[in-house]
A and B are shown apart, each in its own frame.
Chain A
């Protein structure tokens, strides 16, 4: 079968690889009909995530058709169209029982901090991902959901990660009606966080980024204010001034380890890798939130240390909440929102690319070329 193949930083290609097989009675094999390239795939693509082995297939956002099921699978049958959450979760461990599907303890032997994630290095369980014609889906009875008949498959594929992650970012912000919410990062997750903030009653939503076309898109898509930090002398000062010198009620970090905007962070975090990535967005979030405010983090950081202004967290009495989204927990609510037209994820899709052209698709997204917001990869076997 054809699959994306990682060869080292910035180098990927579409290659023939062996078909995945059932390896556990709870597995299913899914024929992929659409997969996405995610902003967090770029951290892998840039070689920043430890234990990303050459030969790996990325892709944690995908939907497809069930081709084969293991002997224990009861909730799915061959031929079902399924959307597959990016978290691999057993449904049985104490964390799954608490709805923390993003923190499952039975899906990743290589690390305990993070659960299993499709196509996200051996640090996230060593599973191959969905940027391929076929993919092995463990615990098929737990995560995958049959796509409702009335749901557009372009919406469905975005419900596997970016929509729940953006929504959970807003949820973790504990937004109260009238709150000013600042979202750092105008990528798909930041856009969904900004959009979701309104659902929780935000009074004002501000998005900060440095790429002009993404800011223009954010204004239209999320009906928010959008500012380019390159044109602001000091982001934190700007937010203080625009909030009557109080600070934002809620700040959301939807950027993570590859933040631009601070030379020292860029050098120590991105170039020398002395930190778990540049923490610029997190600094801005902590420093521009009001005292007693909430900082919500969904940006991806590496597993090592970061230089974080923890003194300000203490002095300001900030609540910090952070997690990988628990997709399964959020799906019922989000499907309601998509059905009612309150969330319109598929409008973010700007590129549809055959799986064969995966190298160019990654480069376009990584280099922010051609006004790219969200790319969907389509294998030629999708319409079989």
Chain B
């Protein structure tokens, strides 16, 4: 079956890379004498670790370079350190890391407050653009938000009433 909308000859460059031997990038595997010899290459010079870097237990050393921002800290850091006891093939590695990310999010808010910065959640969520490009969706979200808040308030009130009853 043929595409009726476009003629191949009208498409700029059609078939130009069709011959694999003509594509300089085609051979993905260039074998060389270092194959099958393990980690034997001439390693780049080593970056010094001035902060804590967690390292996969699937390699014997740290890599020659690495990123240093946001070293593990606080409770999320403790969870991350635990995660790195497990190999990359294990849920024991990845699930704690995801948990640590959620804990880290709360730590981030606390951190903001400590620095006297009240995070503008509306703006961080891109609220302005939602208002501009999706006003109906925005209104719906506000209504849902109000409904949830009202429900929570009502539930809390009932709890209070219950407590009153006990006294």
Please report A residues at the B interface, Cβ cutoff 8 Å. Answer: 7-13, 23-27, 47, 50-57, 72, 88, 90, 92-94, 97-100, 105-113, 116, 122-123, 125-128, 138-139, 171, 174-177, 180, 198-201, 203-205, 219, 223-225, 242-244, 273, 302-304, 329-330, 332-333, 337, 340-343, 359-364, 366-367, 369-370
- The complex places the Cα of A340 from the Cα of B13 at a distance, in Å, of 9
Q: Is the CB of B11 within 8 A of A223?
A: yes
- The complex places the Cα of A12 from the Cα of B108 at a distance, in Å, of 12
Q: Given A25-B45, A94-B35, A225-B3, is A56 in contact with B69 using a C-beta cutoff of 8 Å? A: yes
Is the C-beta of B160 less than 8 angstroms from some C-beta in chain A? no
Q: Given A50-B98, A199-B15, is A106 in contact with B64 using a C-beta cutoff of 8 Å? A: yes
Contacts of B24 in A (CB 8 A): 332-333
Count, A-B residue pairs, CB within 8 A: 258
Contacts of A57 in B (CB 8 A): 69
CB-contact partner of A12 in B69, B107, B124, under 8 A: B124
Contacts of A242 in B (CB 8 A): 1
Is the C-beta of B39 less than 8 angstroms from some C-beta in chain A? yes
A98 to chain B, nearest CB (A): 5
Q: Is the CB of B124 within 8 A of A112?
A: no
- The complex places the Cα of A204 from the Cα of B66 at a distance, in Å, of 44
Contacts of A363 in B (CB 8 A): 125-127, 129-130
- The complex places the Cα of A13 from the Cα of B41 at a distance, in Å, of 41
Contacts of B119 in A (CB 8 A): 7, 11, 13
Q: Is the CB of A53 within 8 A of B65?
A: no
- The complex places the Cα of A366 from the Cα of B68 at a distance, in Å, of 28
Give 13 pairs: A residue, B residue, CB < 8 Å, sorted on A: A9-B105, A13-B124, A23-B47, A51-B83, A93-B39, A109-B63, A125-B67, A171-B25, A199-B14, A201-B17, A219-B5, A359-B123, A363-B126
Is the C-beta of B82 less than 8 angstroms from some C-beta in chain A? no
Contacts of B14 in A (CB 8 A): 198-199, 201
Q: Is the CB of A244 within 8 A of B1?
A: yes
8 Å CB interface, B54-86 against A: 54-56, 58-59, 62-70, 72, 76, 80, 83-84
Q: Is the CB of A138 within 8 A of B65?
A: yes
8 Å CB interface, B97-140 against A: 97-98, 100-102, 104-105, 107-109, 111-112, 119-121, 123-130, 133-134, 137
Q: Is the CB of B68 within 8 A of A54?
A: no
Is the C-beta of B21 less than 8 angstroms from some C-beta in chain A? no
Q: Is the CB of B56 within 8 A of A109?
A: yes
Closest partner residue, chain A, to B70 (CB atom): A53
Closest partner residue, chain A, to B5 (CB atom): A225
8 Å CB interface, B1-30 against A: 1-3, 5-6, 8, 10-18, 20, 23-30
A94 to chain B, nearest CB (A): 5
Q: Is the CB of B108 within 8 A of A55?
A: yes
Contacts of A27 in B (CB 8 A): 65
- The complex places the Cα of A71 from the Cα of B94 at a distance, in Å, of 38
Most chain B beta carbons < 10 A, residue from A122, A243, A330? A122
CB-contact partner of A110 in B11, B26, B55, B100, under 8 A: B55
Closest partner residue, chain B, to A112 (CB atom): B58
Q: Is the CB of A369 within 8 A of B133?
A: yes
Is the C-beta of B166 less than 8 angstroms from some C-beta in chain A? no
Given contacts A106-B43, A112-B56, 19 further A-B pairs with CB under 8 A are A11-B121, A25-B45, A52-B101, A53-B104, A97-B32, A99-B27, A99-B28, A107-B63, A109-B53, A122-B54, A125-B66, A171-B26, A177-B15, A198-B11, A201-B18, A359-B124, A362-B126, A366-B126, A367-B133
Contacts of B23 in A (CB 8 A): 171, 333
Contacts of B159 in A (CB 8 A): none
Q: Is the CB of B44 within 8 A of A55?
A: no
Contacts of B1 in A (CB 8 A): 180, 204, 242-244
Contacts of B88 in A (CB 8 A): 111-113, 303
Q: Is the CB of B17 within 8 A of A199?
A: yes
Most chain B beta carbons < 10 A, residue from A98, A100, A332? A98
- The complex places the Cα of A11 from the Cα of B29 at a distance, in Å, of 41
CB-contact partner of B129 in A122, A127, A369, under 8 A: A369
A239 to chain B, nearest CB (A): 11
Q: Is the CB of A177 within 8 A of B18?
A: yes
Q: Is the CB of A54 within 8 A of B98?
A: no
Contacts of B53 in A (CB 8 A): 109-110, 126
- The complex places the Cα of A128 from the Cα of B67 at a distance, in Å, of 7
Q: Is the CB of B67 within 8 A of A90?
A: no
Contacts of B54 in A (CB 8 A): 109-110, 122
Most chain B beta carbons < 10 A, residue from A47, A88, A110, A111? A110
Contacts of B84 in A (CB 8 A): 110
Contacts of B83 in A (CB 8 A): 51
Closest partner residue, chain B, to A10 (CB atom): B125
Contacts of B59 in A (CB 8 A): 105, 109, 112
Contacts of B48 in A (CB 8 A): 23
B20 to chain A, nearest CB (A): 8
Q: Is the CB of B43 within 8 A of A92?
A: yes
Q: Is the CB of A360 within 8 A of B11?
A: no
